[in-house]
């Protein structure tokens, strides 16, 4: 289905996010502040969440059981899937790959890291896409952080996760934040710094203070963050509406003119009108490509000296 820009609706936009930080900073509770969440508790840590902030939770022993649960009819009522933690999820995937994928065992019966983590990474990405694209859910990955030294010896925070998944997991995410305590207050940081990586998008950037929750407070930080991002997308869409209208008008006019060019005479007759098109966004570049492709197909040659099209010159014979 082709949707025109003017008809695009971002009111139900879904997002994927990473939340990571050291143990005990409240990452899981923060993730569960997303709209209508269900928790996949790979880490067996839901007991550490305050009882009044807990949500329905999937507790499984194998990856196959997780797949069965997320594909069940009961999942339709939830908007957000919280995966806690991403590192423990990778451990589940290692077990799945070891049991089910050919080539994941060495001759000695151990996990073949070279082939095994290839399966793990591919399945991790496929699982994320299934949740986002097919099931249309928000997806939040919770990770513990691990302090490492960069090439200059400075301390930097990385996702605690085996294999190269910790690098590729950032690619499909809309935004990701590092949770830390600064002067006794908790913040989630969406703009990268030297000591940690982060990712901002749709206006979600910088440091955001995380409010402390009382017994009667509603846990809604990520819900409001998603609403902010949707509002920003809609505002940007409206801001560029005049340019999009100009673009669409230019493309319609340009295609009609190109369609009228069938030979040298029609090319020269049409060229002034084509050059006079009022362009918007990328219409000039796109239409120029289409015009030149049509001229090449018709065997037309633009003579810069004469300032007009002529039939392409015949190739010279090689004596």
Supply the pLDDT for residue 315. Answer: 60
- CA-to-CA separations, 154 to 150, 159, 186, in angstroms, rounded: 5, 16, 23
CATH number for the domain formed by residue range(s) 5-237: 3.40.50
Q: Residue 58: which pLDDT band, with cuts at 50, 70 and 90? A: very high
The beta-strand segments (E) located in 77-137 are 80-84
Q: Residue 6: which pLDDT band, with cuts at 50, 70 and 90? A: low
Q: Residue 216: which pLDDT band, with cuts at 50, 70 and 90? A: confident
% of residues, the chain, pLDDT over 70: 94
- Residues 177 and 18: beta-carbon distance below 8 Å: yes
Q: Residue 103: which pLDDT band, with cuts at 50, 70 and 90? A: confident
Q: Residue 108: which pLDDT band, with cuts at 50, 70 and 90? A: confident
What residue ranges do the domains of the chain occupy? 5-237, 246-311
Write out pLDDT tens, residues 281-295. Answer: 889 999 999 999 999
Write out pLDDT tens, residues 136-194. Answer: 999 999 999 998 887 777 888 989 888 777 788 888 889 999 999 999 999 999 999 98
Is-cis flag, bond preceding 85, omega within 30?
yes
Rounded to 10 degrees, the C-alpha dihedral 9/76/28/33 comes to 50
Closest CA to 12 of 32, 35, 38, 30: 35
315 or 202, greater pLDDT:
202
pTM above 0.85, yes or no: no
Kindly report the average pLDDT of the chain as a whole number.
Answer: 89
Continuous segment of H or E residues that includes residue 69:
helix 63-70
Angle at 71 between CA 67 and CA 75, to 5 degrees: 120
Q: Angle 86-100/113-129 helices, nearest 10 degrees?
A: 120
């Amino acid at each position: 289905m082709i949707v025109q820009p003017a008809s695009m609706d971002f009111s139900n936009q879904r997002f994927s996010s990473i939340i990571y930080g050291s143990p005990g900073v409240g990452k899981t509770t923060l993730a569960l502040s997303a709209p209508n969440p269900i928790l996949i508790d790979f880490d067996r840590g839901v007991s550490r969440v305050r009882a009044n902030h807990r949500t329905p939770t999937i507790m499984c022993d194998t990856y196959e059981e997780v797949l069965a649960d997320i594909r069940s009819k009961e999942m339709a009522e939830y908007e957000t899937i919280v995966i806690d933690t991403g590192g423990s999820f990778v451990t589940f995937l290692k077990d799945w790959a070891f049991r089910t994928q050919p080539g994941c065992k060495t001759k000695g019966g151990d996990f073949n890291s070279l082939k095994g983590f290839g399966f793990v990474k591919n399945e991790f990405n496929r699982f994320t896409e299934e949740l986002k694209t097919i099931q249309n859910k928000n997806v939040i990955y919770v990770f513990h952080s691990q302090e490492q030294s960069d090439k200059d010896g400075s301390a930097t925070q990385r996702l605690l996760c085996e294999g190269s998944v910790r690098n590729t997991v950032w690619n499909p995410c809309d935004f990701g934040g590092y949770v830390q305590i600064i002067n006794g207050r908790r913040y989630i940081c969406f703009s990268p710094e030297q000591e940690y990586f982060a990712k901002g998008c749709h206006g979600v950037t910088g440091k955001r203070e995380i409010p402390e929750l009382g017994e009667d407070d509603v846990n809604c930080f990520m819900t409001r963050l998603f609403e902010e991002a949707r509002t920003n997308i809609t505002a940007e869409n409206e801001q560029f509406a005049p340019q999009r209208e100009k673009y669409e008008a230019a493309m319609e006019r340009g295609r009609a003119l190109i369609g009228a060019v069938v030979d040298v005479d029609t090319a020269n007759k049409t060229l002034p009108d084509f050059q006079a098109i009022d362009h918007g966004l990328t219409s000039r570049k796109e239409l120029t490509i289409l015009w030149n492709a049509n001229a090449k197909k018709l065997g037309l040659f633009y003579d810069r000296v004469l300032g007009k099209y002529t039939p392409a010159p015949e190739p010279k014979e090689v004596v």
